[in-house]
Chain A
């Protein structure tokens, strides 16, 4: 029996409505309990800010495209090297670090759970193998269905239950957690050298539109009773004037789930652009935020851009090709048969660049204009907008008008005429930041019942104690202290064990991977469906029996079974 008692913690726990109450937290064998014996080890938090462990609901840390980002950027691998020390492995890399680099750096910031935003089903083994070497966070993966042939055929035939059945079979086979649509239909069109311009463009051959894909997959997702909603990267990422396409996509979504949103729209900053071209490029954060404010069925994440070097990587192949033509630097393009694709390029976001300055402002505006913090979560779409190590700065920008003004003074001078940011007075408080960095993620991913994102009895003892007293620090003026504190916990506790202390990781942990197995009736078991089997054998280059990821690939296996309505 392992017992730990955290005394005098100043707790913010939004899922339980606790806002800055000083209390003790008792932990036994990795779970939070009502009380522990006198023999428990004691940590005195001395009134420091104590939150549930951070959760990143959209990041790219493991898998084939992340790894390609690594090996096409040896210069990035030279940027952040740390030597082997005690139980710690050597790390390297800045925007696409090694798995250990990701894990240690997230841990030092108090993050204990990560969702890989895009896993190609065919290449799932690679993602799971890298999860194994991401020792200090629990992990889960969104599975890409944006260009899945079987799904598109079922949509064309108007058979939503079959869509659900294919998703169920695939999630189970690849040990995935959620359903991801990246530029739905666009990646399939890209196999033909094309793209889709918005949600009404038919996909070549399949003749279904992105709108039909989104609507059908959303319905199928709810038929399967998955913990998470559909996770959407809208069409037309990064193009001027794309906000109308974004509004059109969000407008497709009915309110189908009482416990959580029906759609998670990711990195919306990249989808909130006005103008007819780069010359009149401007922010359209206001109409997007206004729209989301009226629709509880939508949750988005910021996709904040921060100035500096990074690597962009996404399943959105055609978009990366457009970026490549703009930057004319390195480019990787990748096709995943029958399923999806990807593209990768390195970028530098510059303050002196007007477009980059506007992008920076839009992410902050989305967070500040969305009334409920539960509906706009903090991300950079790591590493697309910036590496996750920049999160503390983003927190400080959201909490301090003064910091925003100081930064705004350094960006391109024409930015002020193109964005509403300078007029926004709102400063987020500690509670709202706790929502946007853990509680909101747990709710949006549907993992609070698994004991994630809160500190109630029975919860997983994932806890971050930051070296900061909220009664002593005014974030509006002391934003430097906020950055410092969120960059380096006093203690990061994972499953009841101190894994990081004052910027140093202490142990080589052992994570768990969460995945979903929807239980469907025999009639909808695609493993027994003659048509599905026949098409699989005809088109894939792998045999169907070799396709599923064996459970040995999962380090610590947390299977979530759902009762599907098919």
Chain B
């Protein structure tokens, strides 16, 4: 079953639309769903042109395609998703894929903050850039992503994979400050540069194929290792947190 949700053009607005109802399994029972714009509850067909092709009786067989110029306003798409596919032909708003446990989300544009927050399984692909806190925990939370994978083809903002406890995050471009902060499990791979990676890490593995700027002094250097055709410098830490994590970097620069 393929559900196409094309956002209706309307007056230019930045009010977010809370769309946690847009999850593949919800469409098994039809398209009579609601979203919220500010304090107003709206029927799905007030916001989107809805069309459905074929049918399905399990979430795995449902694909939801979101399109339109304003998809960046949609928040919480795919929250608690457990199977099926969501394709976003544009940008997506905050908290896409919160707590997801299965299925695939593919974003052709950029994603706003908290993409894949506290997810436990499934796959997220983002063709563009991601904003802050991708695959991280929420404010005050102890655990970020616990399983599954997130792959970003563009750049990532700050606090990438903060508190990550499992699963894999791969960023092909650069990442911002505090990548992998409070990491205690899982794997983070940054192909480009980032700042202060793996601060306060406990366990887990963090790879920086570019340069770690502002490298923290609380990691112990253990020589070099070969990893997928690259020579990387191996650190363990964060000693400040009695951590036994592994941090591999191509190059690094301490703060002056």
**B229 in the interface (beta carbon within 8 A):** no
In this complex, what residue of B is CB-closest to A76? B140
Least CB distance, A84 to chain B, in whole angstroms: 11
User: Residue B139 contacts which of A75, A328, A329 (CB distance < 8 angstroms)?
Assistant: A75
**A74 in the interface (beta carbon within 8 A):** yes
In the complex, what residues of B have CB within 8 A of residue A329's CB? 142
What total of A-B pairs shows CB separation below 8 Å?
A: 17
User: Residue B141 contacts which of A72, A75, A328 (CB distance < 8 angstroms)?
Assistant: A75
In the complex, what residues of B have CB within 8 A of residue A73's CB? 140
Least CB distance, A528 to chain B, in whole angstroms: 49
Least CB distance, A326 to chain B, in whole angstroms: 13
User: Residue B138 contacts which of A72, A75, A76, A328 (CB distance < 8 angstroms)?
Assistant: A75
Task: Give Cα A73 to B140, complex, Å.
Answer: 6
Interface majority SS (helix, strand, loop, mixed), chain B: loop
In the complex, what residues of B have CB within 8 A of residue A74's CB? 138-140
Chain A 405-425 interface 0/1 with B at a Cβ cutoff of 8 Å (1 = within): 000000000000000000000
| Chain A interface size range | under 10
Task: Give Cα A329 to B242, complex, Å.
Answer: 12
List residues of A (47-75) whose CB comes within 8 Å of B's CBs. 72-75
Task: Give Cα A328 to B139, complex, Å.
Answer: 18
| Chain B interface size range | under 10
In this complex, what residue of B is CB-closest to A329? B142
List residues of B (119-164) whose CB comes within 8 Å of A's CBs. 138-142
Task: Give Cα A73 to B242, complex, Å.
Answer: 23
Task: Give Cα A75 to B140, complex, Å.
Answer: 5
In this complex, what residue of B is CB-closest to A75? B140
Least CB distance, B118 to chain A, in whole angstroms: 11
In the complex, what residues of A have CB within 8 A of residue B141's CB? 75
Chain B 228-256 interface 0/1 with A at a Cβ cutoff of 8 Å (1 = within): 00000000000001100000000000000
Task: Give Cα A75 to B142, complex, Å.
Answer: 9
List residues of A (450-485) whose CB comes within 8 Å of B's CBs. none
Task: Give Cα A226 to B5, complex, Å.
Answer: 71
In the complex, what residues of A have CB within 8 A of residue B242's CB? 328
In this complex, what residue of B is CB-closest to A73? B140
In this complex, what residue of B is CB-closest to A77? B140
Least CB distance, A23 to chain B, in whole angstroms: 49
Task: Give Cα A16 to B42, complex, Å.
Answer: 60
Chain A 72-103 interface 0/1 with B at a Cβ cutoff of 8 Å (1 = within): 11111110000000000000000000000000
In the complex, what residues of B have CB within 8 A of residue A75's CB? 138-142
In the complex, what residues of B have CB within 8 A of residue A76's CB? 140
Task: Give Cα A72 to B139, complex, Å.
Answer: 9
Least CB distance, B48 to chain A, in whole angstroms: 28
Most-contacted residue by chain A among B140, B241, B242 (CB, 10 A): B140
In the complex, what residues of B have CB within 8 A of residue A77's CB? 140
List residues of A (313-334) whose CB comes within 8 Å of B's CBs. 328-329
Least CB distance, A97 to chain B, in whole angstroms: 15
In the complex, what residues of A have CB within 8 A of residue B139's CB? 74-75
Least CB distance, A412 to chain B, in whole angstroms: 23
Least CB distance, B202 to chain A, in whole angstroms: 9
In the complex, what residues of B have CB within 8 A of residue A328's CB? 241-242
Task: Give Cα A286 to B63, complex, Å.
Answer: 66
Task: Give Cα A189 to B138, complex, Å.
Answer: 37
Task: Give Cα A290 to B100, complex, Å.
Answer: 56
Task: Give Cα A328 to B184, complex, Å.
Answer: 13
In the complex, what residues of A have CB within 8 A of residue B138's CB? 74-75, 78
Least CB distance, A41 to chain B, in whole angstroms: 37
Chain A 375-398 interface 0/1 with B at a Cβ cutoff of 8 Å (1 = within): 000000000000000000000000
In this complex, what residue of A is CB-closest to B241? A328
Task: Give Cα A77 to B141, complex, Å.
Answer: 11
In the complex, what residues of A have CB within 8 A of residue B140's CB? 72-78
In the complex, what residues of A have CB within 8 A of residue B241's CB? 328
In this complex, what residue of B is CB-closest to A330? B140
Task: Give Cα A288 to B182, complex, Å.
Answer: 43
In this complex, what residue of A is CB-closest to B242? A328
Least CB distance, A208 to chain B, in whole angstroms: 37
In the complex, what residues of B have CB within 8 A of residue A72's CB? 140
Chain B 6-38 interface 0/1 with A at a Cβ cutoff of 8 Å (1 = within): 000000000000000000000000000000000
Least CB distance, A108 to chain B, in whole angstroms: 26
Chain B 45-70 interface 0/1 with A at a Cβ cutoff of 8 Å (1 = within): 00000000000000000000000000
Chain A 437-460 interface 0/1 with B at a Cβ cutoff of 8 Å (1 = within): 000000000000000000000000
Task: Give Cα A329 to B182, complex, Å.
Answer: 11
Least CB distance, B79 to chain A, in whole angstroms: 15
Task: Give Cα A197 to B17, complex, Å.
Answer: 58
List residues of B (78-113) whose CB comes within 8 Å of A's CBs. none
In this complex, what residue of A is CB-closest to B137? A75
Chain B 212-242 interface 0/1 with A at a Cβ cutoff of 8 Å (1 = within): 0000000000000000000000000000011
List residues of A (116-149) whose CB comes within 8 Å of B's CBs. none
Least CB distance, B241 to chain A, in whole angstroms: 8
Task: Give Cα A78 to B118, complex, Å.
Answer: 15
List residues of B (172-220) whose CB comes within 8 Å of A's CBs. none
Task: Give Cα A430 to B254, complex, Å.
Answer: 67
Least CB distance, A162 to chain B, in whole angstroms: 46
In this complex, what residue of B is CB-closest to A72? B140
In this complex, what residue of B is CB-closest to A71? B140
In the complex, what residues of B have CB within 8 A of residue A78's CB? 138, 140
Task: Give Cα A73 to B141, complex, Å.
Answer: 9
Least CB distance, B158 to chain A, in whole angstroms: 18
Least CB distance, A92 to chain B, in whole angstroms: 12
Least CB distance, A104 to chain B, in whole angstroms: 23
Task: Give Cα A178 to B142, complex, Å.
Answer: 38
Least CB distance, A71 to chain B, in whole angstroms: 9
Least CB distance, A9 to chain B, in whole angstroms: 43
Least CB distance, B146 to chain A, in whole angstroms: 16
In this complex, what residue of B is CB-closest to A346? B140
Least CB distance, B162 to chain A, in whole angstroms: 14
Chain A 269-292 interface 0/1 with B at a Cβ cutoff of 8 Å (1 = within): 000000000000000000000000
Task: Give Cα A75 to B143, complex, Å.
Answer: 11
Task: Give Cα A77 to B139, complex, Å.
Answer: 10
Task: Give Cα A511 to B11, complex, Å.
Answer: 48
Q: List 16 A-B contacts (CB under 8 A).
A: A72-B140, A73-B140, A74-B138, A74-B139, A74-B140, A75-B138, A75-B139, A75-B140, A75-B142, A76-B140, A77-B140, A78-B138, A78-B140, A328-B241, A328-B242, A329-B142
Known: A75-B140, A75-B142, A78-B138. 12 other contacts (CB 8 A): A72-B140, A73-B140, A74-B138, A74-B139, A74-B140, A75-B138, A75-B139, A75-B141, A77-B140, A328-B241, A328-B242, A329-B142
Residues of chain B touching chain A, judged by Cβ–Cβ distance below 8 Å, are: 138-142, 241-242
The 8 closest A-B pairs by CB, nearest first: A75-B140, A74-B140, A74-B139, A75-B141, A73-B140, A75-B139, A76-B140, A75-B138
